Structure 1
Amino acid sequence: MSEERPASPGQTITADQIKRWGPTWSRRVGTMLAKGVWNTRVVGAERVPRTGRLLVAANHTGIIDGPLLHGVIPRESHMIIKEEMFSGVIGFLMRGAGQIPVDRRNGRAALQTALTLLQEDRLVGVFPEGTRGGGDVKQTKAGIAWLAVRSGAPVLPVAILGTRPAGKKPGYIPGFRGRLLVEFGEPFVAVDPGAGVGRAAVTEAMGRIQQELGAHVHGASERHDIPLPRSTEI
């Protein structure tokens, strides 16, 4: 057997390079951050299926959204994260944590890797907006729709609120014991299985995911009175 070499920025990631055991320890670190460093309220965790393939779709406003979500999901997860994070010490930890680097110019390798993990009945987390923004899900990338269509996995919407309050810049990090909120919605099927796996099915799934996630995020924002950053603050 050839020696496994870790992927680095600019290299193609493959499924055999993902540490399946990584989320076992890294989730504990995320939980410590969510509950120890910050004061995170989690709503709807009982809606997360404990087994089986699952796509988690979350809005994205703050730099800590990834580790926060990883720590509060009540099962092990593999997050798709921009490859720029996979360098130096942080990159070493990311690879050991079993996370998936994505080249945002061409994410095919990351999507194929995520699809393999889903086919192993694992959980894959995605930020469909593609980058930190207003968190209002005004647009979504096609990647998660492609994964939903190809894997048949249900999609579970998640609202992450408070990680970047209105008026703060995208690099903002909440202070010690900052109050944050993560609310899980109800899983849904993004597209009828009879629609096939072609472009039309992906387009349909993308629209459904944007609609469901956007509605969930705005609903959670109103329910908990936590405003989203304004688009002018992106």
Structure 2
Amino acid sequence: MTDRRPGVPSGLTMAWSRPVGWVLDHVVYRTTVKGRENVPTGGPVIFAGNHISFLDGPVMFGASPRPMHILVKQEMFKGFLGQVLTASGQLPVDRRGDRTALQRCKEVLDAGRCVGILPEGTRGSGAAADINGGVAWLALNSGAPVVPVAILGTRTGAEHLDSVPRPGRRFHVSFGNALTLARRAGESGRASMDRAALEIRAALAGHVQDSIQLSGQPLPFADARQDLTAVAGTPADDH
């Protein structure tokens, strides 16, 4: 029987959300998926994807060979959308720092399930130039391997950070080699966290660049709001 702990969503949440993710990737959009064979077929896995669009989480969810529970900013858990996110097993997180969310993710991993994280935190160029430490904490404290995920095409060129891609666009999702991290003898907790974060960032950034070369799909500008408003000659609105 699958382990079910207080902070672990019911497995029934995946019964309907997985097909919806597939439809998003392969009916609404055209998603090329590479590297499924790199994803461990059993046990807990942390999927760490780059972040360029609000569609990145759903697209990663639909492309993955295994179901996952994705960390989503808590502001999204309102109204009808919040009900959908909860019913599909996604996990709210306060991006200013949320130990409770991380502990809940660890419970999900300890139950043998998978967690999806966009460790850059906010939408940008998607180059993984910097990531938050939560993914490193989870990797070290759960023992789960980290699979870097490159997501390309969900935002392109000078498109606004909040733009919605037109149906039929080609997306590219690539799952990289799994990375397993552990504390080293004599290494302090802080040193372990810093090293793990650097290794995860390097693996994700490198995989994104490799995927760009293989797919031919470049990353978008880091903050298209500034580029577009500069052309128009009006100040950018600060969301």
Distance 1:172-1:195 versus aligned 2 partners, 3 A rule: farther
Give the Cα–Cα distance (whole angstroms) in 2 for the partners of residues 211 and 50 of structure 1.
Answer: 24
- Gapped regions of structure 2 (runs ≥ 5): 226-239
**In 2, distance between residues paired with 1:142 and 1:75?**
24
Moved more, 188-197 or 101-110: 188-197
81-90 vs 195-204, greater mean Cα deviation: 195-204
Aligned counterpart, 1:90: 81
Q: Distance in 1 between matches of 2:89 and 2:185?
A: 33
Cα separation, 1, equivalents of 2:41 and 2:188: 26
**Is residue 2:69 matched to residue 1:78?**
yes
- Local SS of the residue matching 1:231: coil
How far is 1:223 from its partner? Answer: 1.6
1:225 corresponds to 2:216: yes
- Structure 1 gaps of 5+ residues are 1-13
1:54 and 1:118 in contact (8 A); partners too: yes
Amino acid at match of 2:166: G
Q: Does 2:209 match 1:203?
A: no
Partner SS for 2:220: coil
- Distance, in Å, in 2 between the alignment partners of 1:107 and 1:16 is 14
Query: Using the alignment, how far apart are the partners of 1:90 and 1:197 within structure 2?
Result: 42
Change (3 A) 1:15 1:138: farther
Residue 165 (structure 1) aligned to one of 152, 156, 165: 156
Over aligned residue pairs, what C-alpha RMSD do you find? 1.7
User: Cα offset for 1:21?
Assistant: 2.2
Counterpart residue identity of residue 92, structure 2: P
Corresponding residue of 1:130:
121
TM-score, length of structure 1 as denominator length: 0.89
Q: Which amino acid aligns with 1:84?
A: E
Match of 1:149, SS state, is helix
d(CA) in 2 for partners of 1:174, 1:141: 27
Structure 2 CA distance for partners of 1:90 and 1:140, relative to 1, 3 Å? same
In the TM superposition, residue 60 of structure 1 has moved relative to its aligned partner by 0.5
Deviation at 1:206, TM superposition (A): 0.3
Is residue 141 of structure 2 the alignment partner of residue 141 of structure 1? no
The partner residue of 1:215 within 206, 221, 224 is: 206
How many positions carry a matched residue from both structures? 221
**Alignment match, 2:230:** none
One-letter amino acid of the counterpart of residue 58, structure 2: P
Bigger Rg over Cα = 2
Q: Quick check: 2:8–2:107 contact (8 Å CA) kept in 1? A: no
Query: What displacement does 1:23 show?
Result: 2.1
How many angstroms does 1:180 deviate by?
0.5
TM-score normalised to the size of structure 2?
Answer: 0.88
2:234 maps to what in 1? none
**Structure 1 partner of 2:231:** none
Residue in 1 that maps onto 2:35: 44
Match of 1:187 in 2: 178
Check conservation: 1:195, 1:201, Cα contact below 8 A.
Answer: no
Contact 1:150–1:197 (8 Å) recurs in 2? no
Alpha-carbon offset, residue 229 of structure 1: 1.2
Residues 201 and 182 (structure 1 numbering): CA distance in 2 closer, same or farther, change over 3 Å? same
Partner of 2:147: 156
Give, in angstroms, the shift of residue 27 of structure 1.
1.4
Match in the other structure for 2:59: 68
Q: Distance in 1 between matches of 2:182 and 2:190?
A: 12
